[in-house]
Amino acid sequence: MEKQKRIHVVCNMCGRELKIENGLLKEDAFEAAKEWGYFSGKDLELHRFTICEKCYDKWTSSFLIPMERQAKKEVM
Ligand SMILES: [Zn+2]
């Protein structure tokens, strides 16, 4: 699959446009892609969304069990 050049990306939660330069996201955001399988009610649908950092914090703070966090020593 060819990676298409992104002109703009918006946060699915708040609708804010994220900064893009030369097709690259210039601010960090949570990008998710999920292919639902047979054992779901969404038979083989591919879902994709982007959540900006602010909305990510809001979303994850609503979790009953806090997510796992780990500090990385270096950027890969
Ligand atoms: Zn947002």
List pLDDT tens digits, range 49-62: 999 999 999 999 99
CA 68 to ligand 1 centroid distance, Å:
21
CA 42 to ligand 1 centroid distance, Å:
25
CA 48 to ligand 1 centroid distance, Å:
15
Question: Which candidate, 2, 56, 66, 7, places its Cα nearest to that of 28?
Answer: 56
pTM as predicted: 0.77
What are the E-state strand segments in the chain? 9-10, 17-18, 20-21, 24-25, 29-35, 46-52
Model confidence pLDDT, tens digit, residues 7-64:
789 999 999 999 988 878 889 999 999 999 999 999 899 999 999 999 999 999 999 9
